[in-house]
Amino acid sequence: MVSVLPTRSMQLVCKSTHPALRSASSFATRRAISTVSRRPLNNHFAIARSSKGLQIQRTFTSSSTWRLHTQEMNEEQLSSLKVNQKRLMEDLHHTCQWGTGERWGDAPTETGMSRLALSPADKLARDWFVQTTESLGCKVTIDAMGNIFAIRPGLNNIEPPTYAGSHLDTQPTGGRYDGILGVHAGVEMLKVLNENWVETQYPVGVVNWTNEEGARFPLSMVSSGVWSHSIPLKTAHTLQEIHPGTSTLSTALSHINYLGTVPASHTSTPMAAHFELHIEQGPLLEMANKKIGIVRGVQAYKWLTIKVTGRDSHTGTTDLKSRADALLTASKMLLHSHKVATARNALASTGILNLWPGSTNTVPGVVEFSLDIRAPHDDVVRGMLDTIETDFRKIAAGEDVGGLNTGCTPSLPLDVSITEDFDSPATSFHPRCIAAVSEAAYSALGPDGKNLVMEMTSGAGHDSVYASKRCPTSMIFVPCREGVSHNPREFCKEEDCALGAQVLLQSVLRFDRQRG
Amino acid sequence: MVSVLPTRSMQLVCKSTHPALRSASSFATRRAISTVSRRPLNNHFAIARSSKGLQIQRTFTSSSTWRLHTQEMNEEQLSSLKVNQKRLMEDLHHTCQWGTGERWGDAPTETGMSRLALSPADKLARDWFVQTTESLGCKVTIDAMGNIFAIRPGLNNIEPPTYAGSHLDTQPTGGRYDGILGVHAGVEMLKVLNENWVETQYPVGVVNWTNEEGARFPLSMVSSGVWSHSIPLKTAHTLQEIHPGTSTLSTALSHINYLGTVPASHTSTPMAAHFELHIEQGPLLEMANKKIGIVRGVQAYKWLTIKVTGRDSHTGTTDLKSRADALLTASKMLLHSHKVATARNALASTGILNLWPGSTNTVPGVVEFSLDIRAPHDDVVRGMLDTIETDFRKIAAGEDVGGLNTGCTPSLPLDVSITEDFDSPATSFHPRCIAAVSEAAYSALGPDGKNLVMEMTSGAGHDSVYASKRCPTSMIFVPCREGVSHNPREFCKEEDCALGAQVLLQSVLRFDRQRG
């Protein structure tokens, strides 16, 4: 087993603690013999003196005989590469100083996050990501969507890197794990590789995707969408931030100096594979007492906007039968959409609802609301949309649908319009990536592995959906408390974060080995 | 019959067209003999030269033998005093240039109004009201709530005036008649009295009440409420304007220079009676083909704020049974409140609903909505509140109330809190005022009167509710198209506006005569 010593300056220090390396040239020996303030140690490392003592920095100029190569490692050597749980969590909470959200507990880290994409807080987290990965020897590329690609060279740098990726932005009332854990697990992977003097066959990378949440600029996973050529750059750049702001995505990128010159495209920053560690954001792993979700794909979903148009009227003088109450009608639709989802073992949710004119004594004439419908299969989502279109028109017209009107006063008819804003068909991840994740999970979990993993379909969309259109992809889920996410109380145990990061590391290494 | 000639400068001119006055001293004669730029004509009038020609201005210094006195007029003389429909409507639409709202038709006047209380548009309408009533010989008083009292002296000016009153502010998407018609009918009353050289026994007044709608500062009828000592001045002054503004009511009053020094109190500006002409804002008169509503009182109502607290969660990953969806729960409550009202032949309405955090892929954890419950009798409203308190708690806890949960997935329990923001018990108007309105209606409608009036209860609150706490009060309703109000399409026919104004004029005169 490898003994990993956490240090505060770990992100700037490469310490080899691997037995194979210790036998070749131990870190202690190297430090003892090196007193020059900065000089080449070999053609991959230099020693630098700093306030924290001597540091060995990677320079990645060429290969070396004493380097551990993934393709030459046996299963035992591979499995012995371990992430440092304490360092991972310290790093994660360190960056959560930028955009700290609502407090839910007494401990310093028991707060949510409110780090909207491209906000000042997001800029600080991005700066940390760039500085940290550069200090770990990575080449950093920023594209026209502000996606940040940090690449650690391998032996063969002509082929594209194998990536770990996720996002640093959060919902306005989000938590510390959604997206953030995935990026930090990628950075921790770089640190483990560095401190263990591992040279991969091909480059490995960590990517931070911009505005995954779609919470500030209302199109989620927009930047991996542009990268995969699924969303036009112009559409993305002209996204208006949600009320009450006035920025577009491109002006916000410029404002924080993250509008890169490299095209946002898989042809400019290609990927051999994309692995994403993420909290499950649902309760299934926790309920089943499992530790790792091997994600085979992502469920289908559509985002709709429903507009109900009735007539404003006075609440005190308009008898119920003379009303065209847009909010009462919308309430029936909301309740009905839930029943439609229940009947199909699917999901229907409304997260946004606006009404006009908005006065206590005026019956609203117009209501507009979002409707998010999801199911594992495309045909179920399509069927739900058909049902909703038919039934919502009936509800607006005043017809009784499923007993909704029982005990109600018949009212005047209303109009309804339904717009499909976003369609994400069901996604199947790549068998090779799924296999790499499975092997990594069994390696990380040991003999009891089979009882602790669950194959599953992701309920949420992720950047991996778009990545999967252009490269082999899979995801790793870890349980989060009570399945709560998009909430300040979102929580993943430290050991589960580390276990997920360990599976991510092992997945990337195994994929790298198998590229041949 | 009196022939009334409308002129553009009518509000500045006193022309006697009454037969009794013509015989004494015709306007034509007066104009012919008067060429001095401004000199006393008698101790009540002066002649002034202006760009619009010679004008006779009332000075109200004392009585005169040739003046028509209400107490001396017989029924025929009284009934022959008529409002000028064309002038009334021209004045009304003239002031609707300030705060013009959404267009609904092609004609110049076919727009709604958006004249929030104490806005720049409201200031201009107020300025017009002050200038016009002063030019008609009134003394204008502005109190600490910005209420504007315009008083036309009578023979006995020691006793308080008989008032016509309403309000010039509107809902954000309101119409041209709610409140505005009542104030203009009062101004038209002054013009009719002036042009017919009528001197009332006691003073008559017109009052414009501030922020009746409660649309900008969220407490309706707040200023008549302060006047009647029902609402503390401090409560009113510190009302915060609705989002996104930052003014309080008192800073807004100062800002437009309408923060008067006279206390807002019935002891400082007493009233002998308060008559209010208003559109019905409901469909009953139109449906019954009636022209005048004699309003015996106002129904009881309460305004509640309901806050539902569940848990934010991700729309894609949280299965339905693991949710505490505040919006789905609020939808059930809204639908149930409608059923509770239907069962009691009462009203329940939600005009405001806000949710948090407000993202398409986040199930809302918190929803807050208004609930306005009304019925003609206090005990019905109280009973509705009891039922709502009991049932909303059950709905939040996940219990099935009246089959609302049929076809739904059971979810996690939620919390609900119910706050009573406003309570307006049922109001009964004064028999003497109701009698004056009845006599006036029969006088205005002629022989077919009995078929064209309807005794009714007001569904809406009005400043007359608070006025009635301190002086005899009643209201006059006129039909509005399809009962629509608080809507740009709110519409009252010109002849119905004029008929209502005629009944208002006659009610005030008849009350004045009967004060003895």
Residue B46 has pLDDT above 60, yes or no: no
Asked whether the domain spanning B301-424 has the same topology as the one spanning B69-299+426-515, the reply is no
Q: Which residue has the higher pLDDT, B62 or B284?
A: B284
pLDDT digits (tens, 9 = 90+) for A299-323: 999 999 999 999 988 899 899 999 9
Q: Is A341 on the interface with B (CB under 8 A)?
A: yes
Q: Which residue of A has its CA nearest to B462?
A: A316
Tokens found for residue A109:
């880290």
Mean pLDDT along residues B331-355:
98
Task: Answer whether A201's CB lies under 8 Å from A151's CB.
Answer: no
Q: Chain B contacts of A312, Cβ < 8 Å?
A: 173, 484, 486-488
Least CB–CB distance from A316: residue in B335, B358, B460: B460
pLDDT at B8: 30
- Binning pLDDT at 50, 70 and 90, where does residue A65 land? very low
Q: Is B458 on the interface with A (CB under 8 A)?
A: yes
CATH, domain B301-424, list 3.40.50.150, 3.30.70.360, 1.25.40.10, 1.10.3720.10: 3.30.70.360
Cis peptide before B263 (omega within 30 of 0): no
Task: Answer whether A286's CB lies under 8 Å from A481's CB.
Answer: yes
- The answer to whether the CB atoms of A460 and B351 lie below 8 A apart is no
Q: Is A280 on the interface with B (CB under 8 A)?
A: yes
Mean pLDDT along residues B12-28:
34
pLDDT digits (tens, 9 = 90+) for A160-194: 999 999 999 999 999 999 999 999 999 999 999 99
Which residues, listed in sequence order, are joined to residue B15 by a DSSP beta bridge?
Answer: none
pLDDT at A333: 98
- The answer to whether the CB atoms of B318 and A213 lie below 8 A apart is no
Q: Encode burial over B353-378: b for 16+ CB neighbours within 10 A, e otherwise.
A: bbbbbbbbbbbbbbbbbbbbbbbbeb
pLDDT digits (tens, 9 = 90+) for B158-170: 999 999 999 999 9
Measured CA to CA in angstroms, residue A144 lies from A210, A213, A237, A261, B224 at distances of: 10, 18, 9, 6, 60
Spatial distance between the Cα atoms of B10 and B136, rounded to a whole number of angstroms? 10
Residue B126 has pLDDT above 50, yes or no: yes
Q: Which of A351, A368, A382 is nearest to A486 (CA)?
A: A351
Rg (CA), chain B: 26
Kindly report the nearest CA distance between residue B190 and chain A, in angstroms: 30
- Range 42-101 of A in CB contact (< 8 A) with B: none
Q: Chain A contacts of B328, Cβ < 8 Å?
A: 334-335, 338, 350
pLDDT at B69: 87
Q: Is A410 on the interface with B (CB under 8 A)?
A: no
Q: Is B283 on the interface with A (CB under 8 A)?
A: yes
pLDDT at A10: 29
In angstroms, the first-to-last Cα distance of chain B is 27
Q: Which residue of B has its CA nearest to A462?
A: B316
Tokens found for residue B232:
């503390």
Rg (CA), chain A: 26
Ramachandran region of residue A118, left (φ > 0), alpha (ψ -120 to 50) or beta?
A: left
- The answer to whether the CB atoms of A407 and B339 lie below 8 A apart is yes
Q: Chain B contacts of A352, Cβ < 8 Å?
A: 355, 358-360
Kindly report the nearest CA distance between residue B114 and chain A, in angstroms: 11
Give the SS3 label for residue A33: helix
- The answer to whether the CB atoms of B315 and A487 lie below 8 A apart is no
Tokens 């401004």 identify what position? B38
Task: Answer whether A432's CB lies under 8 Å from A344's CB.
Answer: no
Helix (H) or strand (E) holding A353: strand A353-356
Mean pLDDT of chain B: 88
pLDDT at B275: 98
Mean pLDDT of chain A: 88
Least CB–CB distance from B351: residue in A171, A315, A461: A315
Spatial distance between the Cα atoms of A335 and A338, rounded to a whole number of angstroms? 5
- The answer to whether the CB atoms of B171 and A362 lie below 8 A apart is yes
Q: Which residues have C-beta within 8 Å of that of residue A55, sequence separation ≥ 6?
A: A9, A12, A13, A14, A47, A48, A49
Q: Which residue of A has its CA nearest to B359?
A: A351
A-B C-beta contacts closer than 8 Å: 283
- Range 415-434 of B in CB contact (< 8 A) with A: none
pLDDT at B114: 97
Q: Is B412 on the interface with A (CB under 8 A)?
A: no
pLDDT digits (tens, 9 = 90+) for B215-270: 999 898 999 999 999 999 999 999 999 877 899 999 999 999 999 999 999 999 99
Mean pLDDT along residues A374-379:
96
Residue B468 has pLDDT above 90, yes or no: yes
Which one of B171, B320, B486 makes the best mutation probe of the A interface by having the most chain A beta carbons within 10 Å? B486
Least CB–CB distance from B402: residue in A330, A350, A407: A407
Q: Chain B contacts of A316, Cβ < 8 Å?
A: 281, 299, 301, 347, 372, 374, 458-461
Q: Chain B contacts of A342, Cβ < 8 Å?
A: 320, 407-409
Residue B469 has pLDDT above 80, yes or no: yes
A73 phi and psi angles, rounded to 5 deg? -80, 140
Predicted complex ipTM exceeds 0.90: no
pLDDT digits (tens, 9 = 90+) for A125-140: 999 999 999 999 999 9
Task: Answer whether B357's CB lies under 8 Å from A173's CB.
Answer: yes
Give the SS3 label for residue B76: helix
Distance of CA B489 to the CA centre of its chain: 17
Give the SS3 label for residue B163: strand
Helix (H) or strand (E) holding A195: helix A180-195
- The answer to whether the CB atoms of B173 and A312 lie below 8 A apart is yes
Q: Chain A contacts of B482, Cβ < 8 Å?
A: 322
- Range 286-305 of B in CB contact (< 8 A) with A: 299, 301, 303
Least CB–CB distance from A486: residue in B314, B322, B350: B314
pLDDT digits (tens, 9 = 90+) for A251-296: 999 999 999 999 999 999 999 999 999 999 988 999 999 999 999 9
Least CB–CB distance from A320: residue in B213, B334, B341: B341
Which one of A308, A318, A492 makes the best mutation probe of the B interface by having the most chain B beta carbons within 10 Å? A318
pLDDT at B42: 37
Q: Is B461 on the interface with A (CB under 8 A)?
A: yes
pLDDT digits (tens, 9 = 90+) for B66-101: 468 888 889 999 999 999 999 999 999 999 999 999
Task: Answer whether B297's CB lies under 8 Å from B475's CB.
Answer: no
Going by CATH, does the domain composed of B69-299+426-515 fall within 3.40.50.12500?
no
Q: Look at strands B292-298 and B427-428 and give their pairing.
A: antiparallel
Q: Could you tell me what percent of chain A has a pLDDT over 70?
A: 87
Residue B32 has pLDDT above 70, yes or no: no
Q: Chain B contacts of A485, Cβ < 8 Å?
A: 313-314, 317-318
List, in sequence order, every beta strand (DSSP E) within A38-174. Answer: 38-40, 45-50, 53-58, 68-69, 100-103, 111-113, 139-142, 148-152, 162-166
Residue B13 has pLDDT above 80, yes or no: no
Q: Chain B contacts of A343, Cβ < 8 Å?
A: 407
Task: Answer whether A113's CB lies under 8 Å from A180's CB.
Answer: yes
- The answer to whether the CB atoms of B317 and A220 lie below 8 A apart is no
Q: Which residue of B has its CA nearest to A479?
A: B317
Question: Would you kindly state where each structural domain of chain A is located, as residue ranges?
Answer: 69-299+426-515, 301-424
Q: Which of B20, B25, B54 is nearest to B37 (CA)?
A: B54
pTM above 0.80, yes or no: no
Tokens found for residue A90:
């310290």
Edge-first strand order for the sheet with A45-50 is A38-40, A45-50, A53-58
Which one of A360, A366, A456 makes the best mutation probe of the B interface by having the most chain B beta carbons within 10 Å? A360
pLDDT at B510: 96
- The answer to whether the CB atoms of A353 and B356 lie below 8 A apart is no
- Binning pLDDT at 50, 70 and 90, where does residue A432 land? very high
Tokens found for residue B158:
């020691």
Cis peptide before A232 (omega within 30 of 0): no
Give the SS3 label for residue B86: helix
- Binning pLDDT at 50, 70 and 90, where does residue A47 land? very low
Among positive and negative, which fits the CA dihedral B368, B372, B373, B378?
Answer: positive
pLDDT at B65: 46
Q: Is A408 on the interface with B (CB under 8 A)?
A: yes
Kindly report the nearest CA distance between residue A227 and chain B, in angstroms: 22
Residue B1 has pLDDT above 90, yes or no: no
Q: Encode burial over B243-277: b for 16+ CB neighbours within 10 A, e otherwise.
A: eeeebbbbebbeebebbbeeebbbeebebbbbbbb
Tokens 């002050």 identify what position? B130
Q: Chain A contacts of B406, Cβ < 8 Å?
A: 339, 402-403
- The answer to whether the CB atoms of B372 and A360 lie below 8 A apart is yes
Give the SS3 label for residue B26: coil
- Range 346-385 of A in CB contact (< 8 A) with B: 347, 349-353, 355-365, 370, 372, 374
pLDDT at B70: 86
Q: Look at strands B139-142 and B148-152 and give their pairing.
A: antiparallel
Task: Answer whether A287's CB lies under 8 Å from A488's CB.
Answer: no
Q: Is A328 on the interface with B (CB under 8 A)?
A: yes
Tokens 């790549």 identify what position? A430
Q: Which of B423, B88, B335 is nearest to A409 (CA)?
A: B335
